[in-house]
Amino acid sequence: MNHLAKVIKTVKEESPILYTIVLIHLFLAIGCLAGLFIDERIVMGVNVWIKPLKFSISDGIYIMTVGYLIRFYPYTKRKKNSINNIVAWTLLIETVIVVFQASRGIQAHYNKYSLFVNPEVKSKLKTEG
């Protein structure tokens, strides 16, 4: 447990933005866990909140790991910050989309029936019309 506290402290000191995004993932995971018990909707045979819960937990762990391990690479501070920000913000956007789709009660990926979910179909319709 002492090592985990060291990892958390290191990430918090080295990249406060990364640490904040990990905390956002933690709060999203808590919300999804609450959704498991409150919401009984099923998509593809499982509760709608299972997928966003898994994304929130795994992405939070991944972001924390990247934030800790990147300090061992011989990159400049600017390059480390760029990598941290790209990883953290893209995964946060992805997780928010998955949580949003769960709140709607639909699949988050590979949904061919909604233009909101599948932007490439929307762009194809614009070019064909």
Asked whether residue 43 carries a pLDDT value surpassing 90, the answer given is: no
Total domains present in the chain: 1
Boundaries of domain holding 20: 2-128
Residues 6+ apart with CB under 8 A from 121: 112, 115
Q: Is 90 exceeded by the pLDDT of residue 8?
A: yes
User: What is the rounded CA–CA span in Å between residue 60 and residue 57?
Assistant: 5
User: Please, which pLDDT band fits residue 126 given cuts at 50, 70 and 90?
Assistant: low
Mean pLDDT of 15-44: 94
Q: What percent of the chain has pLDDT over 70?
A: 83
Mean pLDDT on 34-40: 93
